[in-house]
Amino acid sequence: MIKNLLNKLPRKQAKIVENRDEGSSAVSRNNSRSANSNGTSHSVLNHRDKLNYPLNIKINVNRNNTVPVSFEALPSFKDVPNAEKQILFLRKLSMCCVVFDFGDHTKNLNEKEIKRQTLVELVDYISSANSKFTETDMQEIVKMASVNLFRTLSTQPRENKVINGFDLEEEEPLMDPAWPQLQIVYEFLLRFITSPETDAKLAKCYVDHSFVSKLLDLFDSEDPREREYLKSVLHRIYGKFMVHRPFIRKSINNIFYRFIFETEKHNGIAELLEILGSIINGFALPLKEEHKLFLVRVLIPLHRPKCLPLYHQQLTYSITQFLEKDCKLADTVIRGLLKYWPITNSSKEVMFLGELEEVLEATQPPEFQRCMVPLFRQIARCLSSSHFQVAERAMFLWNNSHIENLMKQNRNVIVPIIFPSLEKNSRSHWNQAVLSLTVNVRKILSDFDPELFEECLLKFQEDEAQEEETKKKREAIWRRLEDIATMKVRK
């Protein structure tokens, strides 16, 4: 399912077209308005003059609050001869390298609209390209995308977003005010990467390691719309540029290491795991040692952070993808889950039980037998949990036919481990739903092997009687000690 989501490219073309129509009047007004810095009027530039604008406009409105005097709308691609479209394309790319301040909605309204309209035209142009992009084209395309996208991310105060256990605050994400233009730039970059006219052998020199690293840094954006586009862009880069694949995997690993062992704070873990789920699905068999190490050193330790609910679904998918590739890894995964099993967090424990069920579905008998003793000791603790959701979720494991068959095949080992927890539940658990489920599970175990069930019941009664006798002896010893202490006080 996640692979399908990754293959669905976000499209907002309808809105872009509407905005293009709405902005046409503003662009027309801007084309007819022109004045120099001294207030002297001059005539509107014709198309050929506009094409002679300098290629590099090195002005950033955020820093000096100024706009190039010559910042006017260039002619549309349909209004120039085919021979001049290449030059116009480069001029429009250069024009879009001017970055505006969207923190103030009252500044540079006409110029922002001109840039938006130009970006829309660039998206249309690159989508309909019918000839290979040149190196100059690629250089200017990557430059324009870099200038607009690579920036310092805005963040909300972290103290308002502290995660206490799993009580996540319902807090609105920080939406970037520049998104209306950033979205078009992302769409433009996505169309460029997926275009059949983009030669990967040439483009790899511009969509290089530095570019990919900066894209990965943007995954920490608080704006979910940006992370969705980044997910699509990075996945397409991974698919198109095979030479970058090891670097991308290594860079994502480093993000995870920093998240797990240092910060435990990152907004894009779920999206990165979605990409990895698709990548893991494409791994060739037999699995490389590098990929197995990734499972052990990254995916399993990702169960440790407190914010696990934010990405647990994607993490579970990635792990089950590994098991579908190589079922022999089930023992490693189950022991990893037991290592990070929560002790005092019942919500997290319920999540672990849900993931455990998916893992056991992909587990074969040989791997199951290697880990069943520590596994069912943990399940027995869950069965007798005073938290009804934990006990209830543990008993739901018997609703899975594959897991039930694994238990039945190894009943001589499993039933003695879990029987005491079930017997205690049936006598003293406070929740009625847990009591009903306990009766059902006891009946299933009895149907497995009636003789074994009776043996376990007798053993439990013997242990209970012995425990009661030990308790009485302990109480008698304490009474004797109290009597001795009282006598010494009196003396």
Give residue 63's pLDDT. 40
Q: Which helix (H) or strand (E) holds 442?
A: helix 432-448
Distance CA 27, CA 362 (A): 59
Give residue 488's pLDDT. 84
Give residue 68's pLDDT. 53
Q: Residue 210: count other Cβ atoms within 10 Å of its Cβ.
A: 11
Two structure tokens written together for 26: 């503003």
Give residue 175's pLDDT. 87
Give residue 154's pLDDT. 75
Integer angstrom CA distances of residue 467 from 272, 463, 470, 480? 52, 6, 5, 20
Q: Would you say 435 and 426 are in contact if contact means Cβ atoms under 8 Å apart?
A: yes
| Location of structure tokens 């570019």 | 211
Per-residue pLDDT tens listing for the chain (491 residues): 444 544 544 443 333 333 434 433 333 333 333 333 333 333 333 444 544 544 444 334 444 444 554 568 888 999 889 889 999 999 999 999 999 888 877 788 889 999 999 999 999 999 998 899 999 999 999 999 999 999 988 776 544 444 444 444 456 778 888 899 999 999 999 999 999 999 999 999 999 999 999 999 999 999 999 999 999 999 999 999 999 999 999 999 999 999 999 999 999 999 999 999 999 999 999 999 999 999 999 999 999 999 999 999 999 999 999 999 999 999 999 999 999 999 989 999 999 999 999 999 999 999 999 999 999 999 999 999 999 999 999 999 999 999 999 999 999 999 999 999 999 988 888 999 999 999 999 999 999 899 999 999 999 999 889 989 999 999 999 999 998 998 888 76
Give residue 37's pLDDT. 35
Q: Would you say 356 and 334 are in contact if contact means Cβ atoms under 8 Å apart?
A: yes
Distance CA 481, CA 465 (A): 24
Distance CA 245, CA 200 (A): 13
- DSSP assignments along 166-206, one per residue: TB----PPPPPTTHHHHHHHHHHHHHHHH-TT--HHHHTTT
Give residue 153's pLDDT. 87
Two structure tokens written together for 241: 């540029």
At residue 417, φ and ψ (nearest 5 deg) are -75, -45
Give residue 166's pLDDT. 40
Q: Residue 178: count other Cβ atoms within 10 Å of its Cβ.
A: 19
Q: Would you say 213 and 260 are in contact if contact means Cβ atoms under 8 Å apart?
A: no
Distance CA 274, CA 315 (A): 8
Give residue 212's pLDDT. 97
Q: What proportions of the chain, in percent to the nearest 5, are helix, strand and coil?
A: 70, 0, 30
Residues 6+ apart with CB under 8 A from 408: 448
